[in-house]
Amino acid sequence: MTAQDRWLHTPPRKSATFDDASIAEIRRAAATGIYDIRGAGTKRKVPHFDDLLFLGASISRYPLEGYREKCATDVTIGTRFAKKPITLKIPITIAGMSFGSLSAQAKEALGRGASAVGTSPTTGDGGMTPEERSHSSILVYQLLPSRYGMNPDDLRRADAIEVVVGQGAKPGGGGMLLGQKISKRVAEMRTLPEGIDQRSACRHPDWTGPDDLEIKIQELREITDWEKPIYVKVGASRPYYDTALAIKAGADAVVLDGMQGGTAATQDVFIEHVGIPTLAAIPPAVQALQELGMHRKVQLIVSGGIRNGADVAKALALGADAVSIGTAALIALGDNDPHLEDEYRKLGTTAGAYDDWHEGRDPAGITTQDPALAARLDPVLAGRKLANYLTVMTLEAQTIARACGKSHVHNLEPEDLVALNVEAAAMARVPLAGTNWVPGVGQW
Amino acid sequence: MPEVDLAVTPLRELNAALHKLKPDTNETSWRVLNPRGQHAIAAGLDAPILVTVEGHAGYYCAGMNKQATVVINGNAGQGVAENMMSGQVHVKGDASQAAGATGCGGLLVIDGNASARCGISMKGIDIVVKGSVGHLSAFMAQAGNLVVLGDAGEALGDSIYEARLYVRGSVKSLGADCIEKEMRDEHKAELRRLLDAAGVDGAADVSEFRRYGSARKLYHFHIDNAGSY
């Protein structure tokens, strides 16, 4: 074709609707007859903390000195009902991730990293491992619908209890751990045959609805003599009502997980199309807390796409008491590290995109039960990396808070924020930058 | 024998007192009066004691029980003996939904009927129901035995794993992947042991029971089985 001929033909143009990813998925579905399963959270771009900016100090607001004046970061959880609330040195916790989905080494590393900076990791489906307990100074124990590994001894050994109603990657969905990862130890902990495709229930077996949840929480308090803080974790879908109902049910804390929150494995269609972004979930939850007079009394922990100290600061400014990280913590341990690129290529992917966590072939030794792969992860070194990362995030959040004149990160407030676009302004309920317009609020 | 009257003593005090008991306690037999349907009575016990509840209990009576024997001289609300680890719970009346849910061990005996989802996600507990059980009993049941002397409702043993179900009466329908299985001698012996433990001595003949368990066809997801879910 000559250069002149080219002008006579319409240049190739790919469809915005049938983009490369959509076409590839159609081909994959046609070839296999089964939906795509993967780990991690949503990969589509949704309004997020990047769409917000802090205003910083000005003539009417004066800042704090970065290397001199204190900006506290501690958070106490469980002050509402628990005899023994827990105090975290930083407002960043590690989200629930199971032994089974993660290797024992990875769980140990999470415990080590969190403990080094005074915060808590969280168990997951399948129960509490001795490694996890012994390396976690403060450990949150999840009560999940499956009740795999649930027992009263671990309940009493825990520092806090988290009743999991849902998670952001799949509100309304249960867990999934495919046979490759059901090793002998995992199977024994879950009382299941080795090597089967294991499904975790999507709803609790012994309670239905908010009134039952209240009684369930009462039972957990009775079993543990009202000592432990009890969290209720929900996937972000109806955050206003779920927060209000969790408060009504007697929660000490509400964990709100947006759609960017990760999962060990579920259907891609679930991850990408069910639930709402973290940014959109926080204001309705805070509104529910405020209307019930429970803001700062029932703590709000937000997760789903937290990556840096700016995200932490923005979540807190919108009204959260703390944030929780999962995917970011795995990356800090070494997940998707470019130095493993050759191995990711062999798996048909690339560093930064690897999400087949359910297959158990993680070259980083994190999302696997293969002993040889898991042995690659040094829990001491990985724990140190996680601690470093948590420290950096905390320093970043403090930097922003000081710039806004706050002596505690909890003093950040919506007034410190503006949005870069209309969508984020509407979701976060803060003004569009350079205006006083908050879409959807007041006469607008 | 210590007696605690829940009409005057807060439940929290009762449970705290029971939790403080040492394994070698001399206070091995307790009576709980006027339960009046309160929830979480005798929950979280971990001592070889007997607790007799004189009346109807609410939700989660004897929840997560270890070692203790809890007798309810009345009906039991939702989730009686949920997640029991060991010991024995005996309901002299009827039980509501999710009786013995997720139980890992021990024996739950219900003299009357049990409502829906009896033995849901059971993980090693033995349950003997002298009456009938409601729908979706033994849903996703992983291990242990459910014995029903009466009838079973719809979708018995739906998505069952390795638990064993013995039913003397009719079964309205079986759930996904649950099938009738041969009643071999070892099963008859096991059933006899369970019936004896539940105090059903000569009144029930093991040959009158049918055994149900997993077809194990859904243990690995296969697209050809999608219609079963």
Chain B neighbors of A179, CB-CB under 8 A: 220
Q: Are B104 and A205 an interchain contact pair (Cβ–Cβ within 8 Å)?
A: no
The encoded tokens of residue A353 equal 């995109």
DSSP state of B143: E
Q: Could you tell me the residue ranges of all domains in chain B?
A: 3-228
Nearest to B162 among A32, A150, A193 (CB): A193
Which of B64, B70, B214 would you mutate first to test chain A, the one with the most A CBs within 10 A? Answer: B64
Q: CA of B205, closest CA in chain A: separation in Å?
A: 31
- Greater model confidence, A98 or B202: A98
Rg (C-alpha) for chain B, rounded Å, is 18
Chain B neighbors of A190, CB-CB under 8 A: 142
Nearest to A215 among B39, B97, B101 (CB): B39
The complex scores an ipTM of: 0.96
Burial A426-440 (b: 16+ CB within 10 A, else e): bbbbbbbbeeeebbe
Q: Which residue has the tokens 């579920």?
A: A266
Q: Which residue has the tokens 């206070």?
A: B27
Domain B3-228 coded CATH 2.160.20.60: yes
Q: CA of A36, closest CA in chain B: separation in Å?
A: 12
Task: List the pLDDT tens digit at each of the 444 positions of chain A.
Answer: 676 676 677 888 999 999 999 999 999 999 998 899 999 999 999 999 999 999 999 999 899 998 889 999 999 999 999 999 999 999 999 999 999 999 999 999 999 999 999 999 999 998 999 989 999 999 999 999 999 999 999 999 999 999 999 999 999 998 778 888 888 998 899 999 888 888 888 999 999 999 999 999 999 999 999 999 999 999 999 999 999 999 999 999 999 999 999 999 999 999 999 999 999 999 999 999 999 999 999 999 999 999 999 999 999 999 999 999 999 999 999 999 999 999 999 999 999 999 999 999 999 999 999 999 999 999 999 999 999 999 999 999 999 999 999 999 999 999 999 999 999 999 999 999 999 999 988 754
On whether the CB atoms of residues A282 and A260 are closer than 8 A, the answer is: no
Closest alpha carbon to A280 in A400, A419, A435, A396: A419
Q: Are A215 and B60 an interchain contact pair (Cβ–Cβ within 8 Å)?
A: yes
A73 within domain boundaries: yes
Q: CA of B45, closest CA in chain A: separation in Å?
A: 8
A207 in reach of chain B (CB within 8 A) = yes
Opening angle at CA A144, ends A142 and A146, nearest 5? 140
Alpha-carbon span B4 to B20, nearest angstrom? 15
A437 within domain boundaries: no
- pLDDT bracket for residue B229 (50, 70, 90): low
DSSP state of A11: P
Which of B15, B67, B145, B222 would you mutate first to test chain A, the one with the most A CBs within 10 A? Answer: B15
B43 in reach of chain A (CB within 8 A) = yes
Task: Determine how many CB atoms are found less than 10 A away from the CB of residue A131.
Answer: 17
B13 in reach of chain A (CB within 8 A) = no
Q: Is A426 helix (H, G, I), strand (E, B) or coil?
A: helix
Instruction: Outline where A182-301 has alpha helix (H).
Output: 184-190, 209-223, 239-248, 268-273, 278-291
A37 within domain boundaries: no
Domain count for chain A? 1
Nearest to B219 among A150, A197, A216 (CB): A197
Kindly give, in sequence order, each residue whose CB lies less than 8 Å from that of residue B162, ignoring residues fewer than 6 positions away.
A192, A193, B142, B143, B213, B214
A20 within domain boundaries: no
The CATH number of the domain holding residue A291 is: 3.20.20.70
B38 in reach of chain A (CB within 8 A) = no
HSE of A244 in the Cβ direction (CA atoms, 13 Å)? 10
Task: Determine how many CB atoms are found less than 10 A away from the CB of residue B158.
Answer: 21
Q: Between β-strands A253-257 and B3-5, what pairing exists: parallel, antiparallel or unpaired? A: unpaired
Task: Determine how many CB atoms are found less than 10 A away from the CB of residue B31.
Answer: 16
A6 within domain boundaries: no
For chain A, the distance separating the N- and C-terminal CA atoms, rounded to the nearest angstrom, is 57
Alpha-carbon span A234 to A238, nearest angstrom? 9
B221 in reach of chain A (CB within 8 A) = yes
Chain A neighbors of B63, CB-CB under 8 A: 219, 223
Domain that holds residue A286: 45-428
A16 within domain boundaries: no
Sheet holding B164-167, edge to edge: B3-5, B29-33, B50-54, B69-72, B88-91, B107-110, B123-129, B143-148, B164-167, B210-214, B178-181
Q: How long, in residues, is chain B? A: 229
- Greater model confidence, A201 or B52: B52
Nearest to A218 among B40, B104, B121 (CB): B40
Kindly give, in sequence order, each residue whose CB lies less than 8 Å from that of residue A19, ignoring residues fewer than 6 positions away.
none
A30 within domain boundaries: no
On whether the CB atoms of residues B178 and B215 are closer than 8 A, the answer is: yes
For residues A276, A277, A278, A281, the Cα torsion angle rounded to the nearest 10 degrees is -40
Q: Is A301 helix (H, G, I), strand (E, B) or coil?
A: strand
Nearest to B82 among A190, A192, A206 (CB): A206
